[in-house]
A and B are shown apart, each in its own frame.
Chain A
Amino acid sequence: MVDGACLELVGKHETSREGEAEAERALIRRAQRGDRSAFDTLVRRYDQEVLRMTLRMVRSEEEAQDLYQEVFLKVYRSLGQFRLEARFSTWLYRVVTNVCVDHLRQQKSRSEVPARAGADGELDYARALADDRPGLNPEQALRAREISRRLEVALRQLSPRERMVFELKHCQGMKLRAIGELCGTSEEAAKNSLFRAVQKLRQDLSDLV
């Protein structure tokens, strides 16, 4: 008989924060010297979060996979320039931000609408939506799907920067100061981007409110 506690996702074993940071620096040093297994270990620590961020930005598994690879190849190629006194996660997520924003800018300039409809007409990213709310009746489920579709359309109207700030704030819950740092701007600029994003979304979704 299997204990139901197995269903809980295990967290990392907690050592002291400083010990963890030093262990990570040692790992980075080894990776910088060409130790591939050290780099793979570093990737495994962060890649789920990176994939989550890219998927939420582009809402397509295929594109998220491409961006995931682009991020980690950039990290691999430029790891030698990373200064160990800086925080690796900040540096990594800045790469993610830049890659995602560049991708969205290219999409906008090509006016490309990624072909995402599945065989049954559903947007394929919807398969990735973690809609695990129990007891959602069919009508509620239909409304939820419609809101998601409208939200995706509305998000595409945002500029790449606005979208990035909105996703990082609304979905990831990051503080605007940290968002500004990731995006290479000030906290004030991040606030303005968030404000513009919310205004545009309110205009596009006013009938749903």
Chain B
Amino acid sequence: MNCDDLEKTSSLYLYDELGAEDRAAFETHLASCGGCRTRLEEARRLHRVLSACPRPEPTPELLVRCRQALDEALDREQLGWRGLLRGWMWQFGAAPAPRLAAVLTLLLFGFGLGWTLRPRARSLAPLTPSGTTSPFGASDLGDVRIRHISEVAPDPQSGGVRITLDAERRVTLEGSLDDPRIRQVLVDTVRGYDNPGIRRDTLDALRTHRDNPSVRAALLYALRHDANAGLRLEALKTVRGMQWGPDVHQALLGALEHDANPGVRVAAVDALVEHAVEEGEDETVMPVLLKLAASEQNPYVRLQCLAAVRKMEGNEQ
């Protein structure tokens, strides 16, 4: 080993990347070369400066935000075309290449068939059994989407045809949440609609009427049961602003103890502690916090519970 090799070798030496033989040769050279020892010392000082810089660590809040955003992105992915294609592929259970070919063939076939058979609503002429035009006039067909045709029965005598079909019509409702019909649609959407984006918008809309009994029940339902953690968190934020009652208390305790998502659990801790500190009630909250601070598996939740216990103990004093 000579002095020209030293610059590169010293970096590897300081990072402990030299093999035993190279390390021995390096140290032997150093023992007899003052110039190289000086340069190594400079490299060591740089190494210390670089090592002394604090390294960014993700905060728990950042991690929770990332997880929530990913959760929602995966929901969209599952509902999108990629998710459907993936589902079909796994159903066929074939190897990747023939599976892909099979799916693409089916898609093209299905698309072609669907295009050929697409319902042409304006060309249908619904008839009553007597052959006269039904009250369901042709002008109504413009915004009707045909979901299923169960029968097409030509009548050779009259030259007409009877079509039995299932149809749906797009309806737009506008108004305030004081209208019970609008409120009911929103409540039903929160409870059962499968699109998380629509459920999120619905939670936003319901916020202004959170203390209405049916809305309150729907929001507590969302906190307990929504499949999407981000939406459970949104529901919790609204629940937090409700008039406090045993139902709210129980729902938040339930979220703290049983929710699958640590972000939701920690938000429940914050809500419960805030209420306990303001109202001076902690008979049911403190035992749960103590239990979780001692034995909770998730370190983030455990630390938050511990901090909450300290806060409440400090408040008592």
B59 near A128 with CB under 8 A, answer: yes
With beta carbons under 8 angstroms apart, the residue of B45, B52, B54, B62 that contacts A51 is B62
Smallest beta-carbon distance A145→chain B, Å: 9
Binds A, one of B11-19, B112-120, B274-282: B11-19
B binding-site residues for A, Cβ under 8 Å: 7-8, 11-12, 15, 17, 42-43, 45-46, 49-59, 62-63, 65-67, 69-71, 73-74, 77-78, 82, 86-87, 89-90, 96, 290, 293-294, 297, 299, 302-303, 306, 309
Smallest beta-carbon distance A39→chain B, Å: 8
B54 near A148 with CB under 8 A, answer: yes
B17 near A175 with CB under 8 A, answer: yes
Given A61-B62, A77-B82, A191-B17, verify A144-B46 contact (CB < 8 Å): no
A64 near B306 with CB under 8 A, answer: no
With beta carbons under 8 angstroms apart, the residue of A2, A48, A171 that contacts B293 is A2
Given A51-B63, A191-B17, verify A209-B58 contact (CB < 8 Å): no
A interface: dominant SS: helix
List of 4 A-B pairs having minimum Cβ-Cβ separation, nearest first: A130-B57, A131-B54, A129-B54, A128-B56
A59 near B56 with CB under 8 A, answer: yes
B56 near A129 with CB under 8 A, answer: yes
Given A128-B62, A144-B54, verify A6-B70 contact (CB < 8 Å): no
Q: How far is the CA of A6 from the CA of B70 in the complex (A)?
A: 30
With beta carbons under 8 angstroms apart, the residue of B7, B50, B77, B302 that contacts A6 is B302
B58 near A64 with CB under 8 A, answer: yes
A binding-site residues for B, Cβ under 8 Å: 2-3, 6-7, 9-10, 32-34, 36, 39-40, 43, 47-48, 51-52, 55-56, 59, 61, 64-65, 68-69, 72-73, 76-77, 80-81, 125, 127-131, 133, 144, 147-148, 151, 169-171, 175-176, 191, 194-195, 198-199, 201-202, 205, 208-209
- A68 proximity list for chain B (CB < 8 A): 66, 70
Smallest beta-carbon distance A186→chain B, Å: 14
Smallest beta-carbon distance B285→chain A, Å: 15
B56 near A209 with CB under 8 A, answer: no
Q: How far is the CA of A7 from the CA of B293 in the complex (A)?
A: 9
A65 near B65 with CB under 8 A, answer: yes
- A59 proximity list for chain B (CB < 8 A): 56
A51 near B11 with CB under 8 A, answer: no
- A131 proximity list for chain B (CB < 8 A): 54
Q: How far is the CA of A148 from the CA of B94 in the complex (A)?
A: 53
Which residue of the partner chain A has the closest CB to B12?
Answer: A191
Q: How far is the CA of A198 from the CA of B45 in the complex (A)?
A: 12
A198 near B11 with CB under 8 A, answer: yes
- A77 proximity list for chain B (CB < 8 A): 77, 82
With beta carbons under 8 angstroms apart, the residue of A32, A125, A169 that contacts B15 is A169
A76 near B55 with CB under 8 A, answer: no
Q: How far is the CA of A201 from the CA of B46 in the complex (A)?
A: 9
- B73 proximity list for chain A (CB < 8 A): 69, 73
Which residue of the partner chain B has the closest CB to A71?
Answer: B70
Q: How far is the CA of A33 from the CA of B70 in the complex (A)?
A: 19
Q: How far is the CA of A34 from the CA of B79 in the complex (A)?
A: 12
Given A131-B54, A169-B15, verify A209-B46 contact (CB < 8 Å): yes
